[in-house]
Structure 1
């Protein structure tokens, strides 16, 4: 037996069993991370996207005469709209101008249509 052959036998004997099949462990890790990503997507990311889309639709649907509640809790009636602002009548002869993003919800019949 020569020295090179003995070194190969020693190296092969020192390898742990199953080391040749390392792709199975890697595949398990890939599946684990894919499952974690899927859980995060369906429990966190997707609901946030839906909520954002619903809010944008609500703000786009604003019209004069709508009763609203601002994010600060102020109740009033929309009297004017522009691209970025909403004018709200909160009392007789009292009109306030807000950013559209300050609208929390639209009231229908005195109750909340959608919660923001």
Structure 2
């Protein structure tokens, strides 16, 4: 192939590109509406598969934490298992072993193992 042929092929291809790009004009607004119609089901699927279940889990956890009473056996997010000795507004006191007490933030309780009968407070 000669350099002259390659130059002519390049020039003709370069001149043809703007002509191809000018194709039929897009319909005004049709593309946007179609994108919204396709995007709406994705938003709904995202909501029902991810957001709503997380909200329900958070509500259930808050209810569980608010119902902790003295005498319950609980598990913390750190893996500590203990019996609730005292319940305050934002924290609880756990008995982990004999003469071993720790204070834990209420929201760090991930499970209530044994619900105890209500025990009178001996504060």
TM (norm. structure 1) is 0.72
1:41 paired residue number = 47
**Corresponding residue SS for 1:52:** helix
**Corresponding residue SS for 1:30:** helix
Q: Give the count of matched residue pairs.
A: 94
Q: Offset of 1:32 from its aligned partner?
A: 1.2
Please, which runs of 5 or more residues in structure 1 have no aligned partner?
Answer: 1-13, 110-116
Give the root-mean-square deviation of aligned CA atoms.
1.8
Please, which runs of 5 or more residues in structure 2 have no aligned partner?
Answer: 1-21, 116-123
Q: Which whole-Å deviations, capped at 9, do the CAs of 1:60-82 have from their partners, x for residues lacking one?
A: 01000100011111111001011
The runs of 4+ residues in structure 1 deviating greater than 4 Å are none
Between 1 and 2, higher relative CO (CA 8 Å, sep ≥ 6) is seen in 2
TM (norm. structure 2) is 0.69
User: Is 1:91 equivalent to 2:97 in the alignment?
Assistant: yes
Query: C-alpha separation between the residues in 1 aligned to 2:45 and 2:32?
Result: 20
Query: C-alpha separation between the residues in 2 aligned to 1:68 and 1:43?
Result: 29
2:24 paired residue number = 16
Rg larger in 1 or in 2? Answer: 2
